[in-house]
């Protein structure tokens, strides 16, 4: 293979313009030497041959005793553009590129050696290990969720990916010292807002208000003092008291909502041309490294389209109200619920829309009020 590649190289020949020169050239043709780009001046004849024919040229030159100058035009180039050179350059680019798609190292940083070994075993069961392609590795959220589920003594796991290295740093959960509950402040449960009581969910304490009775803000709902005959025992009221109540929510927005919509992505990669021009002008170590690293540069650009959404009454009912409903529901307690919703009014100006929504809610309205010893 090397000999075949070598014979493909081109040799430049220059000889003096003398009578023997033409006989010399005719003899070369008779010996099947491929003469290319033949040209002449007043004193010199220039032509090119393949390197495989060089021994024949030298033998004929000795026969006719002509002065000939032989040179290789590509000998001054930094990179010789021959088959073996191009193959080597291609391998030089492809091997790092292919290697960059594999995970070469997985590092687990944990102060506990025993837990570190356990995490490493779990990672291997999840396909997070060396010598595996990156696209087969689960995303960070899945890895973190599984590790935290099986390691309750950890509060978080930091995952960083740098090139072909995946590093996991385990953060132990802080130690919480339990405090004695004997000094806990005992309290009554009072209403934090006006509402109609629907049901109680008490762990301790005594009901004061009947079901379906209306209470005002600050009214006593459950007492933390239990009467046993003539004696009173302070136990404290614990739990929740649910009631129906109305809540107003106001909103304001522009009449035209501007937003950006993702319409596509654009990738630019293999940016070797500018770096190659720099390397040809100034062949140095720095410019060479810049040319090599530029091969692996991938620029990702997200393309957005700016749009305007005109706000209409129909859009408010169909799109905005469900979003406001979800936001209001999220502000309630776990067992709280919205029973009814009603748009009170919507006001339009030149560039603003204002509105008010009334929600009928059932939720916990109880708050704690400490019991003083003098009560």
* pLDDT in the model for residue 95: 80
Three-class secondary structure assignment of the chain: CHHHHHHCCEEEEEEECCHHHHHHHHHHHHCCCCCEEEEECCCEEEEEEEHHHHHHHHHHHHHHCCCEEEECHHHHCCCCCCHHHHHHHHHHHHHHHHHCCEECEEEEECCCHHHHHHHHHHHHHCCCCCCEEHHHCCCHHHHHHHHHHHCCCEEEEEEEEECCEEEEEEEECCCCCCCCHHHCCCEEEEECCCEEEEEEEEEECEECCCCCCEECCCCEEEECEEEECCEEEECCCEEEEEEEEEEEEEEEEECEEEEEEEEEEEEEECCHHHHHHHHHHCCCHHHHHHHHHHCCCEEEEEEEEEEEEECCHHHHHHHHHHHHHHHHHHCCCCCCEEEEEEEEEEEECCCEEEEEEEEEEEEECEEEEECCCCC
Q: What is the mean pLDDT of residues 238-258?
A: 91
Whole-prediction pTM: 0.43
pLDDT in tens, 48-61: 888 888 888 888 88
Interval 97-140: pLDDT, tens: 787 788 888 999 988 888 888 898 899 888 888 888 888 888 88
- What is the arithmetic mean of pLDDT over 275-285? 67
Please tell me the CATH superfamily of domain 2-76, with its number. Answer: VC0802-like (3.30.2130.10)
Considering the domain 102-172 in this protein, what is its CATH number? 3.10.20.310
For the chain, the structural domain boundaries read 2-76, 102-172, 184-239, 264-301
Q: Which span out of 41-55, 73-87, 288-302, 348-362 was modeled with the highest average pLDDT?
A: 348-362
- 289-311 pLDDT per residue, tens: 666 666 655 666 778 788 888 88
| pLDDT at residue number 293 | 63
């Amino acid at each position: 293979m090397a000999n075949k590649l070598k014979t493909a190289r081109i040799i430049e020949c220059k000889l003096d313009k003398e009578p023997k020169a033409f006989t010399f050239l005719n003899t070369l043709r008779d010996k099947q030497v491929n003469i290319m780009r033949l040209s002449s001046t007043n004193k010199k004849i220039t032509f090119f041959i393949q390197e495989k024919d060089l021994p024949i040229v030298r033998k004929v030159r000795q026969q006719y005793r002509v002065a000939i100058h032989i040179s290789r035009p590509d000998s001054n180039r930094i990179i010789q553009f021959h088959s073996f050179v191009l193959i080597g350059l291609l391998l030089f680019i492809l091997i790092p590129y292919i290697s960059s798609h594999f995970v070469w190292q997985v590092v687990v940083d944990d102060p506990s050696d025993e837990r570190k070994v356990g995490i490493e075993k779990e990672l291997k069961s999840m396909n997070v290990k060396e010598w595996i392609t990156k696209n087969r590795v689960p995303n960070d959220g899945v890895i973190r969720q599984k590790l935290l589920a099986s390691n309750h003594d950890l509060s978080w796991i930091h995952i960083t990916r740098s090139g072909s290295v995946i590093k996991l740093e385990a953060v132990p959960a802080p130690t919480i010292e339990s405090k004695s509950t004997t000094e806990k402040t005992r309290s009554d449960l009072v209403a934090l807002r006006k509402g109609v009581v629907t049901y109680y969910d008490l762990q301790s304490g005594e009901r004061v208000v009947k079901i379906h009775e209306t209470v005002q803000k600050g009214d006593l709902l459950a007492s933390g003092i239990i009467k046993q005959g003539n004696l009173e025992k302070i136990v404290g009221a614990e739990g929740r008291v649910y009631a129906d109540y109305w809540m107003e929510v106001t909103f304001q927005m522009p009449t035209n909502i501007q937003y950006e919509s993702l319409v596509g992505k654009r990738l630019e990669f293999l940016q070797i041309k500018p770096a190659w021009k720099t390397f040809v002008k100034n062949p140095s170590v720095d410019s060479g490294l810049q040319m090599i690293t530029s091969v692996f540069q991938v620029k990702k650009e997200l393309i957005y389209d700016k749009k305007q959404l005109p706000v209409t009454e129909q859009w408010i009912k169909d799109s905005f109200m469900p979003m406001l409903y979800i936001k209001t529901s999220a502000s309630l307690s776990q067992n709280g619920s919205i029973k009814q919703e009603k748009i009170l009014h919507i006001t339009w100006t030149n560039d603003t829309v204002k509105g008010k929504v009334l929600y009928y809610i059932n939720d916990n309205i109880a708050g704690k009020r400490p019991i003083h010893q003098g009560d």
